[in-house]
Structure 1
Amino acid sequence: MRRFNPQWFSEYSNWLEYSESKDAVFCLNCYLFADDNIHQGGGDARKNCEDLVRQEQSIQSALVRQDSQFKHEYRLHLTASIDVVRLLLNQGLAFRGHDESKSSLSRGNFLEILSWYSERCDNIKDFVLKHAPQNDLMTSPMIQKEIVTACKIETIKAIIEELNGDYFALLVDEYFDVSRKEQMAVVLRYVDRMGFVMERLIDIIHVQDTCASSLKEAIVNLLTQHSLSLFYVRGQCYNGASNMQGRINGLKMLIRQESRSANFVHCFAHQLQLSLVAVSKKCVEVGELVLLVSSILNMLGASFKRMDEYRESQKKRVQESLDMGELETGRGLHQEFGLTRACDTRWGSHYKSFSNFILMFGSIVDVLDDIVVDSHCPDEMTKAMGFLRACQTFDVAFILHLMRDILAITDELNKCLQKKEQDIANAMLLVQVAKKRLQKLREEEWGSLIDKVSKFCIKYQILIPNLDEPYFTSLRSRRKLAGCTVSHHYYVEVFCKVIDWQIQELSYRFDEVTTDLLHGIACLNPIDSFSSFDLRKIMRMAEHYPNDFDEFSMGALENQLASYIIDVRDLDERFSDLKGLCDLSKRLVQTKKHSNYPLVFRFVKLALLLLVATASVERTFSAMKFINNDLRSRMNESYFSGCLVPYVEKDVFNRISNDVIIKTFQGMKPRRVQL
């Protein structure tokens, strides 16, 4: 019982404590942490008490700080891993060396790039270098594949958001990859919010059954995953396979049962290539040339030694021409030409094959001559001798130059058809241009062709026949024309006939789209200040889209078209320099007239959705060959699709931030660390 001054509470509040139950004042330090000798306090008791009451040093606070620091380090490491995945996906490189089938112990490219990346980024350098070897989880194949999947998910999501629930067209084709699995590429063509025409790959589907019903089911399942429906399909474009464009049970008819406005257009570029093949089959001379060139290129390409001889001969001839002053020197000139083989379904391959054969004719003859002299195999020697005799004739030289000139015209058309923004109206105009150029070649360029062939024959010492002499053939006498000269044979029986057949094939094969659709699209074309605008033909085309224009909207469309044409043709000068439907779509959005004439803008989009060619699908197949090569043939379907989509759609993938990918990655399954 001691005296107590209440003022001491304010002066010594850090250690004085009052107990109501005992009505006494204690030293808190000694009360809590005094040892057995209770009458002796000290510095230890005071220090222990201060540690207890200091909140920032509590266990909970320490755990919170540690958790925050760990999350920060985790985010740094995950961001670095995503950056490395971005680099590998953009380049189409393997994640583990050159072989994706290796075990997780061989992390190859991924870990090497991660280390290189960390050395150049100060904010993660210490963390990655310290933890990467021990923290195997963040660099494991499982995490890499999950990041790849997250990148694919966000890429497709960005494409679907760009589509914005609008109408689209389908481009579908099948392809056998290096592991002999049949893959189906699905590409969407649509008009985005800015009026630009887009063609985007949304996925690759592994198909086991190629019947039309199975293909349709696979497409429906894919579209359903992204909240899309066949009801919004307004165009289809496939190749010539029967399961695709069959008139009864083909894929196009099955989809049209779901959407009557899903009009079908055969791939224009495939039609063009088929027309060339048809010509080669109908004309005996052209067919013989295709077989001869193919056989010679196969013989030369069958041996590395022959290819080396071909390159050496090519190099020697270029050097001789430079020494004689026949060629000019300069950067990019006189590059090595490969031996391109022609393929019936490979666009433009015949033109490139014939052009290279003409340019490298001397080197090809040199290699064939070496085979005849040095070969120890009688069969090869005999074949090479036959090829030498066949190709060193005026007949082959003439057909080579003729086909090169013809295919040069259609090759320009081929390149134009493969542009993503190409619309069907311009495509039909380009077909007409090609036909007129062929007609001009027939009527005006016979003399220049003979001059080129004669110079070629003189250069390579090929005998030139007298064009005025009678022409003799090995065919039966009843097939010969009385008094037929060499000039008459090559001009009438070959030159004119091949060009006429070519024009006929182009006219026949490019007339499959219904006349109403073509006329309606042509009337929408803004070229020459909308000179081809015809309201009646446009309204007739609208009847082919019953899902979009009913009886009420047909009247509203006609009324909007009448106001629209006066506005854009007579009043608004901003529409005077347009070159096609793509430009018209962009300009309507830029000038906000797409909201003034919504039905007209919808009609323009429907016209743009009618596809021209499956070039985007073919580009996807090229990417598939690059990614799923012989050394990566064991990639599973999900991983392969995850690598392919971001690689093909780089521009979309590169716009996606790391934070978005991290959020998707975190949400794929429960994680140890929740950011």
Structure 2
Amino acid sequence: MDKYLIRKPRTQDSSPMQDSFPVQDSFSSSKRIRVDLNLENLPSDPGLRQKISSYHPNNHDEIRRHYLTKGPCQPVLNDFPLSYFSEKPCRFRSEWYIGRKWLEYSIDKDTTFCFYCYLFGRQDGFKLWNQVAKLDFHVRGVNSVHSQVVKKGEDLLKEKHHIQIDCIRFLLCRRLAFRGHDESQGSSDKGNFLEFVQFLRDHNESINEVLQTAPKNCKLTHSNIQKHIVNAIARETSKDIIKDLDNGFFSILVDESRDISMKEQMSLVLRYVNKKGIIIEWFFGIVHVASTTALSLNCAIECLLCEHNLSLSNLRDINGLKTLILKEKENKSAFYVHCFAHQLQLTLVAVTKNHINIAEFFYVVSNLVIVVGGSYLENGVRRSGRGLNQDTNLKCLGDTRWRSYYGTILNLILMFSAVVDVLEIIEEDGLSDQKVEAQSIMSGRSRRNTQQKTNLHHYRVELFYTIIDMQLQELNNHFSKTNTDLLLCMACLNPSNSFVAFDKEKFIRLATFYPSDFLGTNILALDSQLQNYIFDTRSNNFFLELQGVSELAEKLVSTRKHETYLLVHLLVKLVLTLPVATAIVEINFSAMKYIKNELRNRMGDHWMNDCLILYIEKDVACSIDNKNIMQRFQNMKTHRRQL
């Protein structure tokens, strides 16, 4: 860069005030010789200070920290100088300091300045004493320039190494994985972590000096150190989640899936209702299981919960593993609930496979989608001259998603004429195998030996009635009596349409499912409490527009009705804790495939678990104090150098 610039030499007779206001040449200042400063000689009056940029770059933070320690210049005088605005005398008042810790006054210039703006690059003065309201306009919102420089000042007063931890967390929470191909000194591809450390060295002389003088085996940049730091952040994240749970009851969502290396991984999610009445689902961890037997999965779950000091007595519902509940009856208030959405899918899909006519129909549809490819279909539409605006998206049928069946049938109905034209084209111009398939689909199966029946009888008796019976049978097989009763009783909590679904008997019946939380006396108290509750909520305008149980829980807390109706609120929390779907677990498995992919298929289980926690729960991870992370890191093992 130097060869493209002609540096302007600084004149020796330039005064401090002349040097403070003009824009400085950043390139010339970056090459100035570093001098030893006597910080006590730095002027306190903001009107007499030089710009921070006029000092050597290596002194900037030292000077800023000195001023931050002393605080803003806020002199109190008996009489401030008078100024005239529209022939009216006005002067600065010391009361204006109140509530404005950033405000400074220069006795020399009779002007106010922003303390933090001066420290980080600006030195604009203000002296319109008749328009003092404009002082607060300088602060503006939380994302204003002023707020940003205040945050910089607060961070600068913290320990110097915070920038290193912040950079690590920045990379982790955005899933820039710590993976290097060649971490040797001369490598140009050291991986994201070491490349970022090199960036810091290039832009901060203090960091560069520490890394240059530190022994080669004591720089805290080894891959093991990186993993220890990640583990420390993951542990603190889990600790923060447990703290938010506050020893309350919870449910767990469990599912298994294989990672890219074909290892069985079990994902566990905690679900609970927080103090504000909001449903929370936290990813808690992923565990490699040697087998998917009930005993193996049960042991893995118990170990993970015990590792974080979670009591099984607070467990209320399990979604995903039926055997865990059926094995032991230690907690009578815990119930197994399979994913309801998945159960409905299985019920509908099972019917299509068990009824011969329906199975034959979808077999033909599946073959039709395969034979009628996209190019053939478009060609048929073009040659027929019809259906130019039709959707040509005929998707293959999924194994467990009824929506794929339904969508394919709708598209087939819309494109029926074009599909017939395409089949005729394939019969004429297709390959031999395609001709056979097309002719088979066009001809259909022979009905010469079948008994003649009316269409009404066929579709009503042989199909509709039969399928309804099969669906009822499948639903009874997939939904236990306990789960069905839970769902029916849960419906009485719905606040929609002025609590039209309220049923006192179902309310009390629902409470009996949780004997650990509702003893005999509590049931009697709930009975008497419900009458006041329903009258109060139906006559209260705050509860008129509620649309679900989750909104009811939040409104009870915000209106402090949860203190009046303690038992009702407890029952609402228990119902919200009951999981009905495993969508969140499937999302976690998607994240697992992103983190442990083909390029990182040898990633260890603990390393993947820590990365997943930080990636999925990035909001919690970013809120943890750096001191807690460093303290946990130091307590892991004895290191030669402290962070």
Q: TM-score, normalised by structure 2?
A: 0.64
Which of 488, 511, 514 is the equivalent residue of 1:542?
511
Residues 352 and 362, structure 2, Cα contact 8 Å, conserved in 1: yes
Distance in 2, matches of 1:370 and 1:158, equals 63
Which of 324, 334, 337 is the equivalent residue of 1:262?
334
Give deviations 1:369-391, integer Å, cap 9, x for gaps.
Answer: 7899686xxxxx43x33432344
Residues 183 and 206, structure 1, Cα contact 8 Å, conserved in 2: yes
Distance in 1, matches of 2:630 and 2:426, equals 62
Distance in 1, matches of 2:190 and 2:566, equals 54
Q: Specify every segment of 5 or more residues in structure 2 that has no aligned partner in the other structure, as ranges.
A: 1-61, 63-155
Matching residue's letter, 1:271:
Q
Give deviations 1:406-443, integer Å, cap 9, x for gaps.
Answer: xxxxxxxxxxxxxxxxxxxxxxxxxxxxxxxxxxxxxx
Distance in 2, matches of 1:320 and 1:154, equals 65
Distance in 1, matches of 2:427 and 2:282, equals 49
1:605 aligns with 2:573: yes
Which of 209, 234, 254 is the equivalent residue of 2:291?
209
Which of 624, 632, 635 is the equivalent residue of 1:664?
632
Distance in 1, matches of 2:351 and 2:621, equals 43
Match of 2:255 in 1: 173
Which of 143, 150, 164 is the equivalent residue of 1:77?
164
Which of 644, 647, 665 is the equivalent residue of 2:615?
647
Deviation at 1:213, TM superposition (A): 2.7
Residues 207 and 215, structure 1, Cα contact 8 Å, conserved in 2: yes
Matching residue's letter, 1:574:
F
Residues 294 and 342, structure 1, Cα contact 8 Å, conserved in 2: no
Residues 178 and 629, structure 1, Cα contact 8 Å, conserved in 2: yes
Deviation at 1:502, TM superposition (A): 4.5
Distance in 2, matches of 1:293 and 1:117, equals 61
Higher relative contact order (CA 8 A, sep 6+): 1
Deviation at 1:624, TM superposition (A): 1.8
Secondary structure of 1:217's partner?
A: helix
Distance in 2, matches of 1:129 and 1:488, equals 86
Distance in 2, matches of 1:108 and 1:621, equals 25
Match of 2:349 in 1: 277
Deviation at 1:353, TM superposition (A): 5.5
Specify the structure having the higher radius of gyration (Cα).
1
Match of 2:324 in 1: 251
Residues 265 and 513, structure 1, Cα contact 8 Å, conserved in 2: no
Deviation at 1:593, TM superposition (A): 1.4
Q: What is the total number of aligned residue pairs between the two structures?
A: 480
TM alignment of 1:308-387, pairs within 5 A: 326-327=388-389, 339-344=395-400, 348-351=403-406, 381-382=432-433, 384-387=434-437
Match of 1:36 in 2: none
Match of 2:123 in 1: none
Matching residue's letter, 1:144:
Q
Secondary structure of 1:174's partner?
A: strand
Residues 368 and 385, structure 1, Cα contact 8 Å, conserved in 2: no
Distance in 1, matches of 2:398 and 2:200, equals 45
Hey, which of these two has a bigger chunk of helix by percent?
Answer: 1
Residues 277 and 554, structure 2, Cα contact 8 Å, conserved in 1: yes
Higher mean displacement: 219-228 or 655-664: 655-664
Distance in 1, matches of 2:459 and 2:278, equals 49
Distance in 2, matches of 1:181 and 1:195, equals 38
Matching residue's letter, 1:584:
L
Change (3 A) 1:78 1:280: same
Residues 280 and 286, structure 1, Cα contact 8 Å, conserved in 2: yes
Deviation at 1:149, TM superposition (A): 1.5
Higher mean displacement: 364-373 or 578-587: 364-373
Deviation at 1:280, TM superposition (A): 1.0
Root-mean-square deviation (Å): 4.1
Change (3 A) 1:85 1:199: closer
Match of 1:389 in 2: 439
Change (3 A) 1:527 1:393: farther
Secondary structure of 2:283's partner?
A: strand
TM alignment of 1:477-626, pairs within 5 A: 477=450, 480-481=451-452, 484-485=453-454, 489=458, 493-494=462-463, 497-498=466-467, 501-502=470-471, 505-506=474-475, 509-510=478-479, 512-514=481-483, 516-570=485-539, 572-626=540-594
Match of 1:110 in 2: 193
Distance in 1, matches of 2:228 and 2:378, equals 50
Matching residue's letter, 1:529:
S
Deviation at 1:110, TM superposition (A): 3.5
Matching residue's letter, 1:631:
L
Change (3 A) 1:227 1:530: same
1:186 aligns with 2:268: yes
Secondary structure of 1:266's partner?
A: coil
Deviation at 1:586, TM superposition (A): 0.6
Distance in 1, matches of 2:375 and 2:484, equals 55
Deviation at 1:491, TM superposition (A): 6.3
Change (3 A) 1:253 1:493: closer
Q: Quick one: percent identity of the two aligned structures?
A: 39
Secondary structure of 1:153's partner?
A: helix
Deviation at 1:261, TM superposition (A): 0.3
